[in-house]
Structure 1
């Protein structure tokens, strides 16, 4: 075992990508998976196959686990918790912030929670954004190895921060995707193909992206001066989307949900503020 040694537990598509990037970067890489055959290609590239989780964990000072979730992490690691000792555990499995804190509590002092914001083919390149949180000393000790997996960003000492950022990005992603799907359904009702809508969709997304820096400043400062338009103007536009959906026979539930939040914000006195003021409705569960 050397400082350059690293173990990867879990060889699904992402685990294989992680291990492959480490092998290509020249690290002594030990791999383990419940189905041993999944390690064959990595062994052919130079990785070492471990016969058990215990052998895999004890082979390296840095242990990376990437499996289906927190339950699988516990099932794999709890029986060998005593072997982890001073080893750094990096959990790149998806999960919630609560699960991240629970896992950190079982592995105090040497635990990093991580979130991969990239697809497997991007691993090992700067396009693979991976965020980490937890023990800063553990991150600093193995930062170079972690950077061989992608662009590594340390978010803070709270181990929950990585999972929270991943969840926030997922919420944004599904908001955009569902907005596009609803728009495509609305146009499709008039016989317009989704492909022809793409230039307009991209332009709309770019426009909204341009608003985000100003909205972020307003959210952090807690003041919402109208920049692009007042919330009242935005609400009128949302009403058009709801009515157009109803007239076209397209489910209006999604824009109606957006309208409900905007209406509550207007009722709370934000009609002359920017659209960013709607965040107060998301913060206040009692207002929903």
Structure 2
């Protein structure tokens, strides 16, 4: 195979899974010079047929491009690929595009810095089929200058959003959003399981569940404002009133398949706040610093 010569306009896509293939195809559709590599070489065949250059190694792909997209399964694969790179990669930007932890992103950023390249972490809040549409969102953090330099290209893939200079910011934002979905979905499943076991009509219950979940969504900006201003008005109930309901829920959820949702921890937290004389505050106070606070 002929060695690929470096080009300042080339983009390397490392990993030809669902996301990687969608990314490469979108870039090719916009007439970009794309080089691809995948550990299982056969997976790049369709992309090569569509116009991409096949690289013989991660190192060849990365050294021939100025923008390197690591569209891989996880950070284990990211670190494995980064370990195969050496020499001076200054002038290049390497973006890890997968879900992982803050530590994962931090370690990847350190390795990329050792190589002399700029690093961006990317949290992909979209499915492969949505890549290249306005509905897709990809979060980026790390080198702000690298983000601005490649923003036009990144804008071909999604609505790009820069969320912080810390390399781990996108990973935290991305994972926290997933966590929010799991919390809501598992909470719904727990509720449906409870009413089903009791013999309540699940379909009728869902109508009221939608309204209840809507209250959380509607009040989200206000809740964020309370947190930022460090003021915790009682709202629909005081902490003491919340504690009564939470204790009832702990009993109701006893022995459930999906557990109690961590409510005993919440109850203990409220009890500690009440012991400080903060009974007039609302539920947002449970995530506030307890030290040196007086009742609102």
In the TM superposition, structure 1's runs of 4+ consecutive aligned residues that sit over 6 Å from their partners are none
Instruction: Give the Å deviation of 1:257.
Output: 4.3
Counterparts of residues 93-108 of structure 1 (less than 5 Å): 93-108=98-113
Are 2:250 and 1:250 aligned?
no
Q: Is the 1:265–1:280 Cα contact (8 Å) retained in structure 2? A: no
The separation in 2 between residues aligned to 1:65 and 1:201, in whole angstroms, is 41
Instruction: Give the Å deviation of 1:56.
Output: 1.2
TM-score between the two structures when normalised by the length of structure 1: 0.87
> Quick check: 169-178 or 226-235, which moved more?
226-235
Instruction: Give the Å deviation of 1:81.
Output: 2.8
Return the match for 1:56 from 50, 56, 61.
Answer: 61
Q: Which residue of 2 aligns with 1:72?
A: 77
TM-superposition CA deviations, 1:146-184 (whole Å, max 9, x none)? 111111111222111111112221221221121111101
TM-score between the two structures when normalised by the length of structure 2: 0.85
Instruction: Give the Å deviation of 1:196.
Output: 4.7
Q: CA RMSD in A?
A: 2.4
Counterparts of residues 86-125 of structure 1 (less than 5 Å): 86-108=91-113, 110-125=118-133
Q: Which residue of 2 aligns with 1:137?
A: 145
TM-superposition CA deviations, 1:243-263 (whole Å, max 9, x none)? 3334xx635532444434433
Q: Is the 2:273–2:290 Cα contact (8 Å) retained in structure 1? A: no
Are 2:46 and 1:41 aligned?
yes
Aligned to 2:253, the other structure's residue is in SS state helix
The separation in 2 between residues aligned to 1:267 and 1:177, in whole angstroms, is 33
The separation in 1 between residues aligned to 2:41 and 2:106, in whole angstroms, is 30
Q: Gaps (5+ residues) in structure 1?
A: 284-288
Q: Gaps (5+ residues) in structure 2?
A: 1-5, 292-296
Q: Which residue of 1 aligns with 2:11?
A: 6
What number of residue pairs does the alignment pair up?
281
Q: Which residue of 1 aligns with 2:25?
A: 20
Task: Select the structure that is richer in helix.
Answer: 1
Q: Which residue of 2 aligns with 1:233?
A: 241
Distance 1:45 1:204, change over 3 A: farther
